[in-house]
Structure 1
Amino acid sequence: MRRTQRIRHAEELPEPRKARSGPIVPVLAFAGITVAVMQTLLVPVIKDLPVLLDTAPADATWVMTATLLAGAVSTPIMGRLGDLYGKRRMLLASLAVMVIGSLICASTDDLIVMITGRALQGFAMGAIPLGIGIMRDELPREKLGSAMALMSSSIGVGGGLALPVAALVAQHADWHALFLGSAGLGLLAMALTYTLVPEPPLRAPGSFDLIGALGLSLGLVLLLLPVTKGSDWGWTSAPTLGLLAASVVTLVLWGLFELRTPAPLVDLRTTARREVLLTNLASIMVGVAFYAVSLVLPQLLQLPTSTGYGLGQSMVVAGLCVAPLGVTMMFVAPLYARISARRGPKATLMLGMLVIAIGYGAGLGLLSAAWQTVLIAVVLGAGIGLAYSSLPALIIGAVDPSETGAANGLNTLMRSIGTSVSSAVIGMVLANTSVTMGSVEVPSMEGFRISFLIATGAVLVGLVLAAFLPSQRPSAHPVLLASSADAGPAPAAPAPAAPAATAGRTVRHDGAPSSAEPPPPGGTP
């Protein structure tokens, strides 16, 4: 006999762990901000690294490059491990690796050891997609939008807030204190996560794709290494071109393998869906736009007034002027939730990109005073915050609940690729347009404005990509909770944001699985 399909209204579904949902959001957001701090922790002392580490300037840049490469590699891998073995468990592992890396860096002046520690610090970037996955599994629908927005924005929030604090520490204490502070933040994040964040019960089927992980890691390193070091090696040099060609071959072979393996690290068929593919491409453009302001404004603020355009501010003041970028990103999370509830995450992404374009456009003529840089940082922070907040909702609305960790890990990777490309391109522009002041070369105002134009162009490309995304709006209609292979057609939930439900799995109104109700007897697991 055909089993009866059960349909309930979303508001009738039991909310998982409602009593414990309160501390989840601030704890996970704090963990995300903590790992994001690693990206900009050394920016205030980057020009002094060759002296501090007794090495050549070209070699000192590896201290920054190692963190970037490790973060790019870890995000999709830790996301998949979280889907398979537990997101909270992998989040704690990421934070533990970051603490170990921080302690290593705090105890050394050796370049190789420092690079190793910085790579371990960067490995923790996988915590951000893991936190988004935990929120999706644990939070009630009405809290999910603003919570994911805050977690997604933590990359910018942590990076922005770290600049003035790191500058203050670097000016008044030994620079190793930066790493002791990051270790303390990591230990606090671990303690709060272990105590207050539950382990979601949802697991993805299959096993970990070790060959796929190694192949993706190799391909990403071969790609990002020449992108980040191309300005030092020369963009037409044999190492740069050779590594880029090797990355293309490696990633193509990796993709062919992933299409044939039964439990891939990245489901490329899902990734090729229009909504996932366009969201990831738009993420690259947002990453380009985000990093441009982080490269331009601190340099402009600290250049001496004798250049005719430099603002002559101290390292600390420059950090404080840029800090509103991260603070504004944090405060737009509730605004994102309201706009997205009415218009959907696609509209919010497009609005955010439009605000970014306006901010960079205004910046072309507002670079002559410190207060103007603060205004630019606020506008760009609002736009980037709205755009970043939209990305996890778009991804989650297009994939199965058991794939959220890996899918958001890949999306975070796309943002990292965007920031890497931005760093390489804008670094090249600033180097090629520099002017000589006395015995040194400094970036020119022309270079700053070209950088802003590049960021504006990137975000406009992202705006066009976002326009082709399918519209997604929340729906208050009933949702299908269970079905069976022998059941006939049933009225499907019309909420576009909900991914294809796995048969026999309880699904909440927002498309997230509910762990409070088991599958019906005899249902497909």
Structure 2
Amino acid sequence: MGAHTLVTERRTDYRVTFVVLCLGVASFSLLQSMVNPVLPTIEQALDTDQETVTWVLTAYLLSASVFTPIVGRVGDKVGKERMLVVTMAALTIGSLVAALAPTIGVLIVARAVQGIGGGVLPLTFGIIRDEFPREKVSGAVGTSAALLAVGGGVGLVLAGPVVNALSYHWLFWLPMVMTLVAGVAAAVWVPESPERTPGRINVGTALLLSAWLVALLLGVSQGHTWGWTSGRVLGLFVLAAVLLPAWVLAEARSDHPLVDMTMMRIPTVWTVNLVALLFGIGMYSMFAFLPQFLQTPDVTGYGFGVSVTESGLLLLPQTAATFVAGIISGALAHRFGAKAVLVAGSALTAVGTLGLTLAHGALWQVVAETTLLGLAFGLAFAAMSNLVVDAVPQSQTGVASGMNANIRTVGGAIGGAVLASVITAGIRPDGLPVESGYTNAFGVLVATSALAALVAAFVPVIRARTHVVPGPQAAWEAEHHPEAADTAAH
């Protein structure tokens, strides 16, 4: 357990804190998704080529994957509010540089700086667990987790209109304003963590973690471009295969591990992380390929020939369903348990992708199926986060939820790479994929989603022993929930 810090000052109302946290998560989520649909515009504006412009996405992916667990762990040690301000500052500075970037190289660097903001989600979960009344935690975690998926959908909707009305630079100006406001608000209103983990930051294991993640994700993300059997890709996979066990061994032997391997072996944690990997394959792949599917010209016999803006609007019901599911997930988890919600979300994902596989010839079918997927994403996202947060000691909330988010990202990268290869396995004379490419890709997602539901059914539900931090929050808990002062150990 972490060291206790006596908290005597009056703490900000948790509802104010929640508004600030949601603003931070939403701004990070928008930066994740708004750039994707306008890469051709950026390619033309900055006079570069398709292979180079994809690094605008790759740099962000690599940076976020590295910094999400590291920032979460640093927050556990030095203070979550302090690190939340740091992540908002990184997003603000990165957005400013990106908006003003004169060359593609500067833009890629700016996107790497923005990736530091990946730590906002684990920090948010940690602050919620520190500051919120116990009965409000699951709902708040569910809503903030769903916001990440919602932002992905909203970004697809906004990208086209923003670029058409203003320019692609405003895809960075608008989130910059949000992160600046969120950073100032966090510094003023979000109370500092009453819970700290003692010990130093293990730089060596942080570097090993970064190295194997970059090697794996770079190989996966560039495999389709460089060739899966190319020396560069195979070399990266071999490097990842060597560095991953080296990192695990180093963490296990460390007196001050960055990621506690004992915590990672908690049955609930590792099984939910496996679900996260499988779920990430489906969810992030849908975000990437559904707009592309909708925008395929109707002369192909299966596409709908809609514009970037229209494809975003068609997916808006999916985004709304995700948000609604995130809001109600807390109540559902309270009544049926977070495990049941996770199983339901994963199973609904399999049903939705099966629908897309069998029936995608009319727009109403696609909208209905993607709306069901949105509901599934919101339920599963929230349930995964709640299960992990509940299963670990309070002092490890940040790093545990950061690793869970990171594993979803790895799943998304793997899914995107695999589906890109499946979709482009058959190409028409005009260079567009044949319909069977999408059908087969949706079929792959049916299998991964069904497997996620199966694994979710075997997730053991445990709750870590918690302890009450002295101060006003403890008084609130003692007054309203005296029976919950110390939850039973698993």
Question: Structure 2 length as normaliser, TM-score?
Answer: 0.92
- Residue 451, structure 1, aligned to residue 413, structure 2: no
Q: How many residues align?
A: 469
Amino acid paired to 2:109: T
* Deviation sequence 1:425-483 (CA, Å, 0-9, x none): 1111122223222xxx112221111111111111111112112211x3xxxxxxxxxxx
Identify which of 197, 202, 209 aligns with 2:202: 209
Identify which of 272, 293, 296 aligns with 2:265: 272
Amino acid paired to 1:66: A
Structure 2 segments unaligned to the other structure (5+ residues): 1-6, 479-490
- Residue 464, structure 1, aligned to residue 454, structure 2: yes
- Pairs within 5 Å for 1:12-27: 20-27=13-20
Amino acid paired to 2:351: I
More displaced stretch, 339-348 vs 362-371? 362-371
Partner of 1:11: none
Instruction: Please tell me whether the aligned partners of residues 292 and 452 of structure 1 are also in contact (alpha carbons under 8 angstroms).
Output: no
Identify which of 244, 247, 265 aligns with 1:254: 247
Shift of 1:517: 9.3
SS of structure 2 residue aligned to 1:282? helix
Alpha carbons of structure 1 residues 40 and 161: separation in structure 2 relative to 1, 3 Å = same
SS of structure 1 residue aligned to 2:459? coil
Partner of 1:403: 396
Partner of 1:506: 468
SS of structure 1 residue aligned to 2:125? helix
How far apart in 2 are the matches of 1:373 and 1:119?
34
Alpha carbons of structure 1 residues 169 and 269: separation in structure 2 relative to 1, 3 Å = same
Partner of 1:94: 87
Partner of 1:243: 236
Which one has the bigger helix percentage?
2
* Deviation sequence 1:111-139 (CA, Å, 0-9, x none): 21111001111220110111011001100
Shift of 1:380: 0.3
How far apart in 2 are the matches of 1:303 and 1:25?
40
Return the index of the structure with the highest Cα Rg: 1
- Pairs within 5 Å for 1:196-235: 196-235=189-228
Instruction: Please tell me whether the aligned partners of residues 322 and 373 of structure 1 are also in contact (alpha carbons under 8 angstroms).
Output: no
Partner of 1:128: 121
Instruction: Please tell me whether the aligned partners of residues 297 and 373 of structure 1 are also in contact (alpha carbons under 8 angstroms).
Output: no
Instruction: Please tell me whether the aligned partners of residues 426 and 434 of structure 2 are also in contact (alpha carbons under 8 angstroms).
Output: yes
- Residue 145, structure 1, aligned to residue 138, structure 2: yes
Shift of 1:374: 2.0
How far apart in 2 are the matches of 1:450 and 1:109?
41
Shift of 1:507: 7.2
Shift of 1:207: 1.2
Partner of 1:291: 284
- Pairs within 5 Å for 1:485-504: 496-497=462-463, 499-501=464-466
Shift of 1:160: 0.6
Alpha carbons of structure 1 residues 506 and 418: separation in structure 2 relative to 1, 3 Å = same
More displaced stretch, 124-133 vs 187-196? 187-196
Instruction: Please tell me whether the aligned partners of residues 161 and 327 of structure 1 are also in contact (alpha carbons under 8 angstroms).
Output: no
How far apart in 1 are the matches of 2:477 and 2:157?
48
How far apart in 1 are the matches of 2:176 and 2:217?
27
Shift of 1:295: 2.3
Amino acid paired to 1:132: F
How far apart in 2 are the matches of 1:363 and 1:382?
15
- Residue 324, structure 1, aligned to residue 317, structure 2: yes
Instruction: Please tell me whether the aligned partners of residues 102 and 117 of structure 1 are also in contact (alpha carbons under 8 angstroms).
Output: yes
Amino acid paired to 2:223: G
- Pairs within 5 Å for 1:273-422: 273-422=266-415
Instruction: Please tell me whether the aligned partners of residues 17 and 138 of structure 1 are also in contact (alpha carbons under 8 angstroms).
Output: no
How far apart in 1 are the matches of 2:59 and 2:474?
39
How far apart in 2 are the matches of 1:449 and 1:235?
22
- Residue 425, structure 1, aligned to residue 390, structure 2: no
Amino acid paired to 2:111: R
Amino acid paired to 2:343: M
Alpha carbons of structure 1 residues 192 and 328: separation in structure 2 relative to 1, 3 Å = farther
Amino acid paired to 1:104: V
Instruction: Please tell me whether the aligned partners of residues 134 and 477 of structure 2 are also in contact (alpha carbons under 8 angstroms).
Output: no
Amino acid paired to 2:465: A
Structure 1 segments unaligned to the other structure (5+ residues): 1-13, 473-495, 519-525
Partner of 2:482: none
Instruction: Please tell me whether the aligned partners of residues 12 and 190 of structure 2 are also in contact (alpha carbons under 8 angstroms).
Output: no
Partner of 2:73: 80
How far apart in 2 are the matches of 1:423 and 1:48?
21
Instruction: Please tell me whether the aligned partners of residues 275 and 469 of structure 1 are also in contact (alpha carbons under 8 angstroms).
Output: yes
